[in-house]
Structure 1
Amino acid sequence: MKKIVLQFGLMMLVSTGVYSQSGKIKTANKEYDNYAYIDAIKTYEKIADKGYKSVEVLEKLGDSYYFNGKLDQAAKWYGELFALSQDVEAEYYYRYAQSLKSVGDYEKANQMLAKFHEKNASDVRGKMYRNQTDYLEVIKRNSGRFTIENAGINSQYSDYGSAFTGDKMVFVSARDTSGVFSKRVHTWTGESFTNMYAVTINQDGSLSQPERFAKEINTRFHEATPVFTKDGNTMYFTRNNFNNGKKGKDSAKTTLLKVYRATLKDGKWTNVTELPFNSDSYSVAHPALSPDEKTLYFVSNMPGTLGLSDIFKVDIKADGSFGTPQNVGPTINTPGRETFPFVTENNELYFASDGHLGLGGLDIFVSKPANDGTYKKVMNIGAPANSPKDDFAFLINTTTKKGFLTSNREGGQGADDIYTFIENIPLQYACEQLLAGVVTDSETGAPLANATVTLFDENFKVLKTITTDANGNYNFGEVDCKRKYFVKAELPAYNTREISVIIPETSGTTNLPLALDKTVKPVQTGDDLAKTFGIKIIYFDLDKWNIRPDAAVDLAKIVEVMKDYPKMKIDVRSHTDSRQTHQYNERLSDRRAKSTIAWMIKQGIDPSRLTGKGYGETQLLNKCADGVPCSEAEHQLNRRSEFIIISM
């Protein structure tokens, strides 16, 4: 991956100590520390070929290839590093794993990832592998959605990155090796510094021949990765720290990257100004705009970065000034490299990363922001968009589903090539579910404010406790799909209620209402104690009238109330549905009413306090009379027992 994303990738993360076996090693170290990787590779390989193989030499030789995107060669030298059987930093287990993926050795790569986690248990990259060892199967499920082919505009050098403006696609190329527009060769990549080119996207989807773009902003350093406002009049782009003929350097005398803004006037790009959050001390690169053009996304290793490079965002104010940059957070950014952001019209954030679980090198990922604007989950977009090598700079027209990406995969023409694609099948985003509901009075239906609602997992571990609002509402926020939870609601003067819920595996909101019974329920003459206690039916066996054990549980509630209120008198009323004959149902219901009274008397209730009668099918609650087709549930509404208070 010969591109300027890597120019701030290391930032001296690796050791810079001098190994003094020979002058050649010192020379190679100097070239390495100055990011002159092409020169360093040549020197280190000569040293290694002569038998000078140490941890330091092999680490830096592997790194020189790794950070230059030649992961197959990095795998070779990292392999020799581990063959020394000496202690190495944990990070090299991760780099070796990434390099092994590029040559298709996923089994050994996963072994290295497991060891990386053992060596550095706090690193989120190792945790991600531990929590999803089947990540290759997950990626496979997202694969096969794209048709992809070489764009036909590539050179034998690096061609990468793309942006839409009008009917054109603008990209970056290192093809200027001769002629009036030729640039100096960059020692990092061994190629020329980059310029912008543009092609016209024809009606049939074909591309015109590339032509130089925005020559007026060209310098002898890198210009790259532009993004344009929808009116085409403003461009943000990446350039080395060089403007108005002046070159800026950091404390190590390195010229880093900055983002600049230019405006189009009379067909020329003018007024090139650097953005206020740039610095000589860190790099800022690869701008992207939100759909409303009020937010600028970019990549940097500025203070607050979680890894080698992170994605940030900053507000663009109405007057063209900027707010304070903010890291988009640890869901997106890892200790590795996150780079090349792109935001669709649907506000999806696409980006490249070697820190999330992928197929090798940089993979392309996507994340949708939640309602609160934060990112919750990241998804690998799968093959063939991703490959074992570096894949990045994703760009899509969400209307046509056509776009571009860059890769250094096998079969390419240059160091990096631009590919066109069609997204044939939309990505199925991971299930996202919210758990919410309302707590009410079971009798009146009134919402209950200030109720305590607790969420438990399937093992009854407390996950969250909240209080209902003035309208009785509660909301636990996001919960896991396909998972069982228990929810408990408590409020003084009400009985505590706990119920289970299984969250579905499709995105949405699970609404779980909770109706609470009052601890003390007021009753008066004419009330039905069956409704007070939620007794819908006293169950009897078919054509029988003896009291079953399950019916006795509900009847015991009535008995206890009558014992608490010794002056209370009850009329027991038994009803059937319309099936069977009218005469049969009346006799059966009457026997059941009398059987119920007999059981209650046996439990100590004075016979003078009880009356009862069977009403058969004479007091149906719905349409289900003789000859009317009804469901079993409708018939069951009519099979009921009532315990009416006739005096207190």
Structure 2
Amino acid sequence: MALKKYFLLVLLTLIFGSVVTFAQERLLNKGNEKYEEYSFSPAIDIYKKVLDKGFVSADLLRKLGNSYYYNSEYKEAGETFGRLVKEFQSEVTAEDYFKYAQTLKSLAEYERANEIMFKFSEITSNDVRAKQFKSASDYIADIKKNSGRYQLKPFEYNSPYSDFAPSFYKEGLIFSSDRDTGNFARYRHTWNAKDFLDLYKVNADSTSKNKVLKLDEYVNTRLHESTSITTKDGETMYFTRNNLVAGKYKKDDKGIIRLKIFRATMMDDGLWGEVEELPFNSDSYSVAHPALSPDEKTLYFASDMPGTLGASDIFMVEINKDRTFGTPVNLGSNINTEARETFPFVTEEAILYFSSDGHPGLGGLDVFATKIKRKDFNGNIMNVGEPVNSVKDDFTFIFKEETRKGYMASNREEGMGYDDIYAFIEKEPLVFDCIQQVTGTVRDKISNQVLVGATVKVLNEENEEILSTITDSEGTYSLVLDCNQGNFVRALMEGYTPHEEYIGVSDGKPKIIDFYLERDRITAGYGDDLAKLLQLSTIYFDFDKYNIRKDSEVEIEKVIAAMEKYPSLRLKVNSHTDSRGPAAYNLWLSKKRAESTVNYMINKGISSDRLASEGYGESRLLNECEDGVSCSSVKHELNRRSEFIILE
């Protein structure tokens, strides 16, 4: 009887355990379903319940951490990623490390964040973020240098809800908010369990003077409307909206309602109408956050369309005269990383501001700036520093150089709502001009002699000459370049083959480039002295010696280099002495010195049939210093020489 009770107890335990396991799996599957739909708020609730029931895995912690991360709940995200790294070390991915480092920055734990970023960079050496981290030895110090340029104050029309995405419109602003407008049956978005966003205006016209008014129903729907930009004449507006077709939202294959950019035109009655979606939108990826170039011929936006490097990239597209569009172009890896780049804005002076959590920052999304030159996006990327940037998300930055005033949004702790708009004044402009000094010498590659009067030019990447200079009496030059762009530095000299080096975008540190030019050809014929053509120094021998001295080896090596370059070149080495000493002895000594020079060259690989030698003693003096004439040692040295006469 007791045995039957035992088996019954075991059976009940197994059945109960199976029921519990099945319930956990069902709950976990539901959480994963919400996660895949980007419904992060309900996913968080479900994952927490699963954890409370005692089940944990690397995948669960990763998805819970990501859900917190994308909802900007960085404290909770940091705790979750920390647990993942501690408990499942072997299963931690590069992206886990990166997001963990970002959450630590948002908690101002920079030392620990750097430790995690080192681990990230070790396993992702080709990642743009890893390269930037390795090249920025002390990025916090660099950010501090740019800090203090702005004076911030809260926007007076903030609400206890979410207010962000300010956009200049006439004399006021259009911005996005989920503030309560009296709709008691409000829709909620499952990403963050917040109300859906609409567009509002303030101080834009007489009707919105000192009060916030919701834009008309042609623009606002029951789903999201957020970032916007209007043309200078106020007649056209581009804005972001959830994918809505014929009044009904449309999901992609994963059940996600994507974002699209729409264009609205101002009607005669003062209302926005003729709302149309842009042709490069898609049901399978998001296109959002429009911005216009100063001439309004280019639209910038953020997207995760094919060709995106990270979670979202910044793109541009041409706006044609007939209001059609060209093909979207990714701004490239200098701007975009494997993380999030979003919320672009371009000023009248062609400064591109955008938010990113991929470039080195203080935490969350930071605001960055770069100078656009002829649609070249390879300039320095500058973190604008505090107080615009903080350990939280800072984004939707807009600015007018004319007034030095602008607006931005942030979810920092001291705000009134979930997101808040801040007005600011720029007290000190950002300096985008990057100056780099390049110096060096231009020399003959064989003789190493400096080339006086050589031309050194600078050309941009379109092969356009920017500036040039000439080497001085010592063969040196000095140039000042714009290091916000790539440049070619080219050295030229008549009779020589030009040579150039490329200098990419840099941090402006001085650079030395020495050029060694090769002759096009040796412009000489039979009987010419190669030593003079190569501007060789005198080949000296010790008194009463004929072995090659170390200082002379350097000069002879230049002759050897010339013979290697020109295989048909044949030479005769003629050696001479001064008049001091007996003439017969001087003749013998000069022959031995010529033979010693030839033997040295043969030992270095020059064929003997290309060389000849002869000594002339004191029979061919270059000056008046013959026997019986008093001369200085300097004048006597001029006669102790070796010549390399061209035979063929």
* Residue 78, structure 1, aligned to residue 78, structure 2: no
Tell me if structure 2 keeps the 8 A contact 1:394–1:405.
yes
Deviation at 1:599, TM superposition (A): 3.4
Tell me if structure 2 keeps the 8 A contact 1:338–1:351.
yes
Closer, same or farther in 2 for the Cα pair 1:494/1:399, shift >3 Å?
A: farther
Aligned counterpart in structure 2 of residue 417 of structure 1, from 403, 410, 420: 420
* Residue 211, structure 1, aligned to residue 242, structure 2: no
1:381-413 alpha-carbon deviations (Å, 9 max, x no partner): 111110001001101111111111110011111
Equivalent residue, structure 1, for 2:173: 169
Instruction: Spell out the pairing of 1:69-148 with structure 2 (5 A cutoff).
Output: 69-86=72-89, 87-148=91-152
1:349-379 alpha-carbon deviations (Å, 9 max, x no partner): 1100011111001011111134562323211
Closer, same or farther in 2 for the Cα pair 1:479/1:448, shift >3 Å?
A: closer
* Residue 289, structure 1, aligned to residue 325, structure 2: no
Closer, same or farther in 2 for the Cα pair 1:378/1:599, shift >3 Å?
A: closer
One-letter amino acid of the structure 2 residue matched with residue 101 of structure 1: K
Partner Cα distance (1:406, 1:469) in 2: 57
Aligned counterpart in structure 1 of residue 405 of structure 2, from 402, 413, 417: 402
Equivalent residue, structure 2, for 1:239: 241
Aligned counterpart in structure 2 of residue 223 of structure 1, from 222, 225, 249: 225
1:148-169 alpha-carbon deviations (Å, 9 max, x no partner): 1111211122111111121011
**SS of 1:420's equivalent?**
strand
Partner Cα distance (1:467, 1:19) in 2: 76
Partner Cα distance (1:49, 1:233) in 2: 55
One-letter amino acid of the structure 1 residue matched with residue 292 of structure 2: L
**SS of 2:256's equivalent?**
coil
Equivalent residue, structure 1, for 2:371: 368
Partner Cα distance (1:604, 1:570) in 2: 8
Equivalent residue, structure 2, for 1:301: 304
One-letter amino acid of the structure 2 residue matched with residue 123 of structure 1: D
**SS of 1:251's equivalent?**
coil
One-letter amino acid of the structure 2 residue matched with residue 176 of structure 1: D
Tell me if structure 2 keeps the 8 A contact 1:97–1:113.
yes
Tell me if structure 2 keeps the 8 A contact 1:434–1:476.
no
Closer, same or farther in 2 for the Cα pair 1:372/1:297, shift >3 Å?
A: closer
**SS of 2:519's equivalent?**
coil
**SS of 2:324's equivalent?**
coil
Closer, same or farther in 2 for the Cα pair 1:478/1:252, shift >3 Å?
A: closer
Partner Cα distance (1:348, 1:26) in 2: 46
One-letter amino acid of the structure 2 residue matched with residue 239 of structure 1: R
Partner Cα distance (1:372, 1:272) in 2: 29
Closer, same or farther in 2 for the Cα pair 1:483/1:413, shift >3 Å?
A: same
* Residue 599, structure 1, aligned to residue 601, structure 2: no
1:70-96 alpha-carbon deviations (Å, 9 max, x no partner): 111211222222231442222111111
Partner Cα distance (1:596, 1:241) in 2: 99
Partner Cα distance (2:451, 2:100) in 1: 66
* Residue 258, structure 1, aligned to residue 260, structure 2: yes
Closer, same or farther in 2 for the Cα pair 1:146/1:448, shift >3 Å?
A: closer
One-letter amino acid of the structure 2 residue matched with residue 415 of structure 1: Y
Partner Cα distance (1:96, 1:445) in 2: 58
Closer, same or farther in 2 for the Cα pair 1:444/1:392, shift >3 Å?
A: closer
Closer, same or farther in 2 for the Cα pair 1:568/1:172, shift >3 Å?
A: farther
Deviation at 1:435, TM superposition (A): 5.5
Aligned counterpart in structure 2 of residue 433 of structure 1, from 433, 436, 444: 436
**SS of 1:176's equivalent?**
coil
One-letter amino acid of the structure 1 residue matched with residue 275 of structure 2: V
Tell me if structure 1 keeps the 8 A contact 2:177–2:200.
yes
Partner Cα distance (1:439, 1:230) in 2: 53
Equivalent residue, structure 2, for 1:645: none
Equivalent residue, structure 2, for 1:487: 514
Worse overlay, 466-475 or 310-319:
466-475
Partner Cα distance (1:344, 1:58) in 2: 42
* Residue 153, structure 1, aligned to residue 175, structure 2: no
**SS of 2:380's equivalent?**
coil
Partner Cα distance (1:234, 1:157) in 2: 28
Partner Cα distance (1:19, 1:331) in 2: 49
Equivalent residue, structure 2, for 1:349: 352
Closer, same or farther in 2 for the Cα pair 1:279/1:492, shift >3 Å?
A: same
Deviation at 1:476, TM superposition (A): 3.6
**SS of 1:394's equivalent?**
strand
Tell me if structure 2 keeps the 8 A contact 1:258–1:279.
yes
Partner Cα distance (1:19, 1:284) in 2: 40
Closer, same or farther in 2 for the Cα pair 1:386/1:569, shift >3 Å?
A: same
Tell me if structure 2 keeps the 8 A contact 1:173–1:196.
yes
Equivalent residue, structure 2, for 1:249: 251
Tell me if structure 1 keeps the 8 A contact 2:490–2:499.
no
Tell me if structure 2 keeps the 8 A contact 1:227–1:237.
yes
Tell me if structure 2 keeps the 8 A contact 1:295–1:315.
yes
Deviation at 1:283, TM superposition (A): 0.6
Tell me if structure 1 keeps the 8 A contact 2:128–2:333.
no
**SS of 2:513's equivalent?**
strand
Partner Cα distance (1:219, 1:93) in 2: 39
Deviation at 1:143, TM superposition (A): 0.8
Deviation at 1:444, TM superposition (A): 10
1:512-554 alpha-carbon deviations (Å, 9 max, x no partner): xxxxxx999x99xxxxxx9x9899xxxxxxxxxxxxxx9xxxx
Deviation at 1:19, TM superposition (A): 9.6
Aligned counterpart in structure 2 of residue 385 of structure 1, from 380, 388, 411: 388
Partner Cα distance (2:142, 2:576) in 1: 58
Aligned counterpart in structure 2 of residue 335 of structure 1, from 335, 338, 348: 338
Taking only the aligned residue pairs, the percentage that are identical comes to 43
Tell me if structure 1 keeps the 8 A contact 2:318–2:325.
yes
Partner Cα distance (1:125, 1:240) in 2: 30
One-letter amino acid of the structure 2 residue matched with residue 112 of structure 1: I
Q: CA RMSD in A?
A: 4.2
Tell me if structure 2 keeps the 8 A contact 1:173–1:195.
yes
Equivalent residue, structure 1, for 2:555: none
List alignment gaps of at least 5 residues for structure 2. 1-20, 445-449, 458-470, 472-486, 538-550, 552-574, 579-615, 642-648
Tell me if structure 2 keeps the 8 A contact 1:434–1:478.
no
Partner Cα distance (1:596, 1:154) in 2: 96
Tell me if structure 1 keeps the 8 A contact 2:622–2:638.
no
One-letter amino acid of the structure 2 residue matched with residue 599 of structure 1: V
* Residue 179, structure 1, aligned to residue 179, structure 2: no
Closer, same or farther in 2 for the Cα pair 1:595/1:447, shift >3 Å?
A: farther
One-letter amino acid of the structure 1 residue matched with residue 226 of structure 2: A
Partner Cα distance (2:325, 2:439) in 1: 38
One-letter amino acid of the structure 1 residue matched with residue 164 of structure 2: Y
Closer, same or farther in 2 for the Cα pair 1:127/1:603, shift >3 Å?
A: closer
Closer, same or farther in 2 for the Cα pair 1:440/1:89, shift >3 Å?
A: closer
Partner Cα distance (1:140, 1:22) in 2: 49
**SS of 1:216's equivalent?**
coil
Tell me if structure 1 keeps the 8 A contact 2:491–2:515.
no
Instruction: Spell out the pairing of 1:321-332 with structure 2 (5 A cutoff).
Output: 321-332=324-335
Aligned residues: 505
List alignment gaps of at least 5 residues for structure 1. 1-17, 454-462, 496-517, 524-529, 536-549, 551-558, 573-593, 607-648
Partner Cα distance (1:561, 1:211) in 2: 102
Equivalent residue, structure 1, for 2:604: none
Deviation at 1:261, TM superposition (A): 0.8
**SS of 2:59's equivalent?**
helix
Partner Cα distance (2:247, 2:34) in 1: 26
Partner Cα distance (1:41, 1:596) in 2: 99
Equivalent residue, structure 2, for 1:632: none
- The TM-score, its normalising length taken from structure 2, stands at 0.69
Partner Cα distance (1:26, 1:61) in 2: 13
